[in-house]
Amino acid sequence: MVKKERVIQQKKEQIKKIVEGAVMGLGFFVMFGILIFPGLREGMGDALDVVLGPLADSVGNFLITILILSVVTGFYTSVVQKYTTNWDMMEKSKQYQKQMRELQKELMEAKREDNKQRLKKLEKKKEEIMRKQTQFSGEMMRQQMKPMMYIGIITIPIFMWIWVYIEAASVGAVIFPLIGGKELTASFIFGLPYWVLWYMVCSIPIAQMIRKVIGIPSSM
């Protein structure tokens, strides 16, 4: 009976790994495919226009449409982070960082005191921590990439739709709060258009509220 349960558990783990690999592969393709295949951007935008086009038309104000989409992406992003992040590993990473900060302070004190024996012990301890950190960093990077790939599957196509819709519908100047009338496609900094600025203004506080509600640590 125990053996049967172990076999079932192993099969579940295998299926989980296959699904995760497929999703991450799709996320990787979505994130980097738009750089390699320019036509993919229009394809994503056109595909989503079936759903989001009528939404934008019914809302009437494109700034409000972006606000609605920032709520959708903020919720999706937060849920993905909550359920795909290895929180034990994140905590372990913080512990390594804390150990290194404390060790650096001790090293500085030992150098000021010119305590060679203590310095030698601390250097040995530092090498051990760095060795463990190096072994740990590869898996940590994978864990950080996983939610990014999942998030990209939804957020990047939405961004591509906004870009395509603005171009196709010839959305002109709109009235932004505080800064007044601006062309959505006009650049405000580093070549980023104003619609990206508006998305950021909407999404950052919304995402913070959602993360707080669903219990994601604020330091994440």
pLDDT, one tens digit per residue, over 126-154 is: 888 777 777 677 677 777 777 788 888 88
- CB atoms under 10 Å from CB of 77, counted, come to 20
**pLDDT, position 168:** 77
Segments forming the whole domain that contains residue 180? 2-86+144-214
Domain for residue 153, yes or no? yes
- In whole angstroms, give the CA distance from residue 154 to residue 73: 8
Give Cβ neighbours of residue 82 (< 8 Å, ≥ 6 apart): 214, 215, 216
Q: pTM value?
A: 0.69
> Which has more confidence, 69 or 15?
69
Domain for residue 132, yes or no? no
Does the pLDDT value for residue 72 go beyond 80?
Answer: yes
* Number of structural domains in the chain: 1
List, for residues 81-130, the tens digit of each pLDDT value: 888 777 777 777 778 778 888 888 888 888 887 787 888 888 888 888 77
Domain for residue 16, yes or no? yes
Using alpha carbons, select from 65, 68, 73, 74 the residue that is nearest to residue 166. Answer: 65
**pLDDT, position 108:** 85
